[in-house]
Structure 1
Amino acid sequence: MFSVSTILPNSNGNENDKSSSRMMQFFTQAKIGTFLHQANICKEKGHSPRLIMEFIFALVLHGMGFSRALESERVPKDFEKDTVYAFLKNPTYNWRKFLANISSYLITKFLLPLTSEDRDRVLILDDSLFSRNCSKAVELLARVKDHTTNRYFREFRMLTLGWSDGASFMPLAFSLLSSRKEINRYQEIDPNIDKRTVSYQRRLEAMKKGTETMFDLLDSINPKKLGAKTVLFDSWFAYPAIISKIVKNYSLHVVCMIKRSPKIHYTYEGKSYTLNQLYKKVRKKRGRAKILANVVVGLGHYDENGNEIRARIVFVRDRNRSKKWLALLTTNLDHTEEDAVRIYGKRWEIECFFKVVKSNLRLAKEFQCRSYDSMTAHTSIVFLRYTMLSLSAREETDLRTIGQLFYVCCDEMEDIRFAQALMTILDILGATIAEEFLLTDEQINDFLDRFFEKLPNYLQKTMHLAGAA
């Protein structure tokens, strides 16, 4: 059973009886109501968007599925399945703006003051598979190749932009990418969608190339406000034209892995070379050095002053294959070889993020929606759950992983439900004593206080938790 007013008001409508759970503290701290309004997520009829958001947000913390949660006695009778689905699939809600505004606010308000100006703050771009392999009726669902298994599945590519300072990762924006080729798409855009809405623009964006959509994600944030000076991504996006555009249009540096392609050339000493040709030309360090060599090259693109954009390529030994090598590129020529390797290492945080949202926070598993808007809305809420865990871990200097902290939040919800059950029993006990023995309120309270003092310590702590709710 849900705790009193943890998700929705109880049956008597007392909305002031809120639990002191971590979730409710986060909703106040992040100004969820304000940012919902700014993203045009406003009440049209029935329950407020914030209450519906609380209900969906807390499902995973209670360990409940959607249908089971609706059967709870704490959920009002007029709160039905259609209430949630109508909220998720509304085409006028700007979920990208909602997520970007909240994350940006929390970063500038709470995370930036915790670190010095010298600490590297980076933006990280990467994609991951958003699987819907058991369905064909999902809007814009496509046949996508998984490059880890070289097999094709029914899914989306979830292109994600995040922020990190090396200690915390915060998701900023995402796009669920379909396929550009019509033959690979199982379903097309819903013809009933109003073309003037933001959701229609997101659908068009889903059919773009990932290298084009990444600029839409960068346009949705303000890197300078977030203190970010560098963008990290892997070799899938590492083309000289893309790197040069980021440097010129966004005044950001790039640190990335680059691929050995015969079609990509760099200029060195006035000549054009592929990556393999460059490696053969430069002088390598002797012995078992981890960093083999570095070279400054031109990218073949020019800035506003007509100067060719330059970058440093660092060749490092592949730790999995000692006789092989990998290449990193940085557009910041002030970076040393070690700086380039260290900063690129921060990209691993987005891989950990993908693992948590899929394994713990039920990304793509909680609702089996067919609408593209519903998937966008639910993914935004899942990302918001991770934001809560990431912020809590940072503020409390918690040494546990995000996954461990997730289970702590679930245990906290269980404690609240148990504590409130005990409080209900004591209230009934007090009322029964008053009726049977005609005692005054002072006598009853004195009896309950003495009873409370004789309880074991762990029960007293639980009762304190309920009293704070």
Structure 2
Amino acid sequence: MLNDPRIYWQKLQILIAKAVLAFLRPLTSQDRKTTFIIDDSMYTRLNAQKVECAALQYDHAQKKYLKGFRYLQLGWSDGNSFIPVAFSLLSGKRKIQSNNPLGDQRTNAGKRRAQAFRKGTEVTVELLREALKQGVQADYVLFDTWFSSPKMFQEIRTLQCHCVAMIKRSKKVHYRYQGQMMDVKQIFQANKKRRGRSRYLLSVQVEALVDNEGLPIKLVYIRNRNKRNEYLVLASTDTALTEDEIIQLYSRRWNIEIYFKMCKQYLKLAKYQGLSYDGIFAHTTLVAVAYMILAVQERESKDDRTLGELFYLLLDELSEFSVAEAILQLLDLFQEAFANEYVLDETVLNNIIEQFLAKLPSSVQNQLKGAGTS
């Protein structure tokens, strides 16, 4: 069955993901933002001399070329659960086999192989378009620097989705800022930075020009935790988002890294020894389905709202903002107030406390408010 070239595995996974999301989506409020997450990882086949469509891929983690595929994954997240929606196993120019016919591209097998030899950015848009066509919806699309470019932002906006991504600090990519074309480094140097321990250093609105059309983008410069003297740049095509919302949304991208690790270490993703590209693709689909089952079981064990209507009405949805993070933000608010030499009158203090309470789970909010009135 795995080697059967007629099965449309990609659509099968999307339909299963759609059914899982129909179960998960009612567990969170309609106000909570949902996201697509895009990333790639290495699918290594060290002894891949006869593996169909395999190629030499550069592994940026190990800094060397390895035999295998580029595992491009599209996932969905509500901040608590991650669901793999669709994927593609990409080949490359440095194929291991010299003769590798694509076959009849009207068939499912031919379409899979043809997609494997297209650019990763093109396949990303194809996966998004197919997921949206089948009814899988999300508010934002998250991706890292490998996929971010003005052209990619524009293509995703044509699909009626907003982007939140990290962009490269490159001198080759320019944005229109205050009537001038500047790269992100020049924009950073031309502005005054925020002092204190604020979550971001700078926030500006620019335009990305693609085919002489301007696309509004909000840039947020944040400190690099690993190197305090450097900064990272996040970009959002939804300029109405606050800086904290952009940072919080992008932090969800880590869920896809956990997915890759789970698949490789525990679900035997790279243990399949078949030589057929159809078989490898089918096995990868079954691994994704197994992960969906585990994701649903994990949600049922943590979220009491899954027990039924009685519990659903009495319990809060899982919060993606922990109490510890709320306390840290409270300290940041006080430090920012002192750094800016505000007069800490009753109005300022009440504003800081209200922002702190708003970040807590509602059950904790009610207990604190009850203790304050008693």
| TM-score (norm. length: structure 1) | 0.63
Question: Aligned equivalents of 1:218 and 1:192: distance in 2?
Answer: 23
State the Cα distance separating 1:330 from its structure 2 match. Answer: 0.6
**Distance between the aligned counterparts of 2:134 and 2:215, measured in 1?**
21
Q: Which amino acid aligns with 1:150?
A: K
Structure 2 residue 84 is matched with structure 1 residue 171: yes
Task: Return the offset for 1:393.
Answer: 1.1
C-alpha distance 136-336 of structure 1, shift in aligned 2 (>3 A): same
Equivalent residue in structure 2 for 1:339, among 245, 253, 264? 245
Alignment partner, residue 94 of structure 1: 8
Structure 2 counterpart of 1:411 = none
Residue 19 of structure 1 is matched in structure 2 by none
What's the offset of the Cα at 1:339? 0.6
Once the two structures are TM-superposed, the CA of residue 226 in structure 1 deviates from its matched residue by: 3.7
Q: 1:261 to 1:195 in 2, by over 3 A?
A: same
Q: Does the CA contact (< 8 Å) of 1:266 and 1:298 recur in 2?
A: yes
The answer for the alignment partner of 1:322 in structure 2 is 228
Determine the structure 2 residue equivalent to 1:212.
Answer: 122
Which position in structure 1 is the counterpart of 2:62? 149
Q: Is 1:369 the counterpart of 2:279 in the alignment?
A: no
Comparing 215-224 with 121-130, which one deviates more in the overlay? 215-224
The corresponding residue for 1:421 is: none
The answer to whether 1:284 aligns with 2:193 is yes
* 1:228-282 Cα deviation digits (max 9, x unpaired): 11000000010001111111x2111000000011111100011100111111012
Matches for 1:294-333 after TM superposition, within 5 Å: 294-301=203-210, 308-333=214-239
Matches within 5 A, 1:104-123: 104-108=18-22, 110-123=23-36
1:150 Cα offset (Å): 1.1
Structure with bigger strand share is: 2
Q: Structure 1 residues 153, 307: CA separation in 2 closer, same or farther (over 3 Å shift)?
A: closer
1:140 touches 1:188 (CA, 8 Å); kept in 2? no
Show CA shifts across 1:192-249 (max 9, x none): 84443111111111111101110111121128944411000000010001111111x2
Give 3-state SS (helix, strand or coil) of 1:250's partner.
coil
Equivalent position SS for 2:282: helix
Instruction: List per-residue Cα deviations over 1:31-77 (Å, max 9, x = no partner).
Output: xxxxxxxxxxxxxxxxxxxxxxxxxxxxxxxxxxxxxxxxxxxxxxx
Give the equivalent residue in structure 1 for 2:360: none
Alpha carbons of structure 1 residues 382 and 394: separation in structure 2 relative to 1, 3 Å: same
Matches within 5 A, 1:431-450: none
Paired position in structure 2 for 1:35: none
> CA offset at residue 395 of structure 1?
2.2
Q: Give the whole-Å Cα distance in 1 for the aligned partners of 2:75 and 2:98.
A: 29
**1:20-419 matches, cutoff 5 A:** 87-108=1-22, 110-179=23-92, 181=93, 184-187=94-97, 190-191=100-101, 193-222=103-132, 225-247=135-157, 249-301=158-210, 308-365=214-271, 367-397=272-302
Consecutive aligned runs of 4 or more in structure 1 exceeding 6 Å deviation: none
Distance 1:224 1:271 in 2: 42
Question: Would the aligned equivalents of 2:102 and 2:113 in 1 still touch at CA under 8 Å?
Answer: no
1:141 and 1:154 in contact (8 A); partners too:
yes
- Looking at structure 1, the residues matched to 108 and 28 of structure 2 have their Cα atoms a distance apart, in angstroms, of 36
Cα offsets for 1:377-414 (capped at 9, x unmatched): 00000000000000111123269xxxxxxxxxxxxxxx
- Whichever residue aligns with residue 24 of structure 2, its letter is L
Matches within 5 A, 1:450-469: none
Q: Distance in 2 between matches of 1:323 and 1:263?
A: 23
Identity %: 39
Q: CA deviation at 1:360?
A: 0.4
Once superposed, what is the RMSD of the aligned Cα atoms?
1.8
Partner of 2:339 in structure 1?
none
In structure 1, what is the Cα distance between the partners aligned to 2:133 and 2:11? 15
* 1:164-194 Cα shifts (integer Å, max 9, x gaps): 0001100000000010x2xx11025644844
Distance 1:158 1:353, change over 3 A: same
CA–CA distance in structure 2, aligned partners of residues 327 and 223 of structure 1: 32
CA contact (8 A) 2:102 2:110 kept: no
Between Structure 1 and Structure 2, whose CA radius of gyration is higher?
1
Counterparts in 2 of 1:147 and 1:308: CA distance versus 1, 3 Å: same
List gaps (5 residues or longer) in structure 1. Answer: 1-86, 400-469
